[in-house]
Amino acid sequence: LCTMKKTLLATTIAIQTALCAQEPQEIKTPAQIQAELDQAQRDFETAKKMFIPWYTGPLITSSASNVPPGNWVIQPYLFLLLDYAQYDDNRKSVNITDIWTIEPLFLLQTGITDWLDITGIAEGIFRWQGNQKAQEVGDTSITFGIQLLKQTPYVPSLRLTIGESFPTGRYQKLDPDKGGIDASGSGAFATVVGMNFNKIYWDIPLHPVSLRLVANYSIPNHQVEVKNFNAYGGGFNAKGDVCVGQTFNADLGVEVSLTQQWVFAIDLAYTVSRETSFKGNPGLTPLGIPASVGGPISDQFSIAPAIEYNISEKGGFIGGVWFTATGRNSTNFVGLILSFTWLF
């Protein structure tokens, strides 16, 4: 009986399948067929024009992809900046005597393994205000990049960075006649931890978009002993310890391919720093009144649009402007940035 039931069930399923197969399929009209053919032709023409996008990377937001082992990336920058005002605690911009800065910066990056690379950055600073000038070396840094995810059509690049900033810049015993323009460093070792995200989107096939998101947190490792005029204020006979505030940075970088070689890029950058405090003798100003050392909580939001010209997939040129949109207890500036990057 069980066998008969199984046979009957199988026969019923076979008959139903045969009947379904005999049901008439939808008959498309000539207009529908022509519309599908036209769409297929348009898709084909678009596919012929598509390209693998080339990007130098935007001006500010760093990459989420490590350099392959055995390869090197060089990227020199040239910053020309004008500090023309200072934001107060109420975000009001107060004019100051113009401070001009020329800052050459050199980045060198190389791959160590499939998941680890290292980046070194060094910079020089040339600054003048009125008839006062200064030339100094800035702080340097070394950063290790750990590749957590590699980009695929459905997965973004994700990179963890751990770095150290070294106090190679000048930060104390400044010239009292130069008003602080000869300060070029923090005086503190600082550990910087960051997370970098990157994904290319193909919603517009002929104009792919690369999106980068970066968040960094900088933690000074110790208090900074300062004397006399210094990067945090001070005056004659000042002596004490500065507790440098921790800093958080969040950057958004967008690159829109106009062609394979020409790209529009823009960065949105936000920085916030905690209060910097001081213990000790602040010293006296040239007017003989007690000096101030340290500073309150500060932040700054800036924008950097740019144009890239990519020579090949190995690198190219980028240039643009960089300016502040708002801030609190921070500088109000505008500047020009030029850079070149190349993979060896």
Domains of the chain and any CATH numbers = 2-40 (no CATH), 50-343 (2.40.160.40)
Res 17: pLDDT: 53
Rounded to whole angstroms, the Cα distance separating 80 from 101 reads 6
pLDDT in tens, 236-276: 999 999 999 999 999 999 999 999 999 999 999 999 999 99
Cα 265 off chain centre by? 12
Tell me the per-residue pLDDT of 118-158, one tens digit each, with 9 for 90 and over: 999 999 999 999 999 999 999 999 999 999 999 998 999 99
- Does residue 27 contact residue 161 with C-beta atoms inside 8 Å? no
Tell me what the pLDDT averaged over the chain comes to: 91
Amino acid code (one letter) for 85? A
Q: Which helix (H) or strand (E) holds 36?
A: helix 30-49
Per-residue pLDDT band for 24 (boundaries 50, 70, 90) equals low
Flag the least confident range among 96-100, 162-166, 284-288, 316-320.
284-288
| Residue 239 to residues 168, 183, 189, 232, Cα–Cα distance (Å) | 20, 17, 19, 12
Buried b (16+ CB within 10 A) or exposed e, 73-107: bebebebebbbbbbbeeeeeeeeeeebbbebebeb
Q: In angstroms, rounded to a whole number, what is the distance separating the alpha carbons of residues 232 and 295? A: 8
- Condensed to tens digits (0 to 9), the pLDDT of residues 199-215 reads 999 998 899 999 999 99
